[in-house]
Every structure is written in C-alpha cells, then in structure tokens.
Amino acid sequence: MLNISQKRIFCLKDVSIGKLLVGKSQKGIFHIALGDTAEQLFQEFMVRFGDAQQVVGDNVFKREVAHIIAMIETPKLVKQYNFPLDISGTVFQRQVWTALCDIPCGETISYKELACRLGMPNAFRAVAHACARNELAVIIPCHRVVRKNGFISGYRWGRKRKQILLQREQNG
C-alpha cells in the first residue's frame, strides 16, 4: 500500500515485446504503457505525472506488475486481474473500456461492432478515439479491436505489439 507521502509510484520492466511502465496511485493502477525504450516511457510518464516516484520495495505492487507481465507473456494462462484500477475518462470512454473488457481473450471485434454493442452504430470513430485514449495497455484490451475487414489497425503502443498480443491470445 502506498504511504501518505507517495501519491504515485511506478516501475519499469523488460518484457518480450519491449519495455513496460506501470503506474499506481493510492486508488490503484492508473497507467500501463509499452514502448521501445525505458527512457522514452519514463520521459513521457514524467511529463504527465512528474510527482511519481520509482519504487522497488512494495510487494503488493510487485505482484500486480507480475500479473500484468503474465497477461503480456502468457495471456491464455492468466486469470483476469483482481486488483484495483484508477481509471479516468469520460462517460463514453468508460462505456467503451467496459465493453472492451467483455471481449474474451483470443477474440477480436471491429470498431463498428463495438459501437453497435454500445447501441450507437454510427459512433465507430468515437469508439476508435476512446481506444486510443486507453491508459491501461493489456488490462483494458483495446488491442482486440480491429478494422471491419479484420486487418490490424493502429495501436497506441505500436501495431507490431498489437499483432504479437493478438497472436499470443489466439495461439496460446
């Protein structure tokens, strides 16, 4: 648990698809990012969350990060997360992110299909924008959303990473 002087903590880890940065507030995990270099992730994170402190000794946080890493490396073998999240977004973004969490591991959906599930069939561009605003890579599985024709579309953390994540989920 964070002590009163630590409003936000973070850690950087190596994963098979690059670098991982996980941020935690007193409410829960609020930021999960993937990138090519630790420096890039650190700089982007500190611009937005400059008061965060890098942490190594928090055992609860270590377990949460280990679970996130397992979701990246062996997604078929990992149960859904069961730790608190600190999610910020508009009502619509939260609706999209909640719907994303209902997409089973190994399956994909188009932006249009997701908009239809939300009862807003013409809002597929807004759905794509909400996916792009997701701060929680892997936990909120925006990588499971593809184009209507099934092709892999953009991904905040890199199209190649999206492709790898989908392959791991589909092939075990």
Q: How many CB atoms lie within 10 A of CB 76?
A: 11
Q: What residues contact 62, with CB distance under 8 A and at least 6 apart?
A: none
Asked whether the CA dihedral 126, 129, 134, 137 is positive or negative, the reply is positive
- 142 in catalytic set: yes
DSSP state of 103: S
Helices 159-171 and 59-73 sit at what angle, rounded to 10 degrees?
80
What is the C-alpha separation between 11 and 29, in angstroms, rounded?
11
Q: How many CB atoms lie within 10 A of CB 167?
A: 10
Tell me which H or E stretch contains 148. none
Which residues participate in catalysis according to the annotation? 142
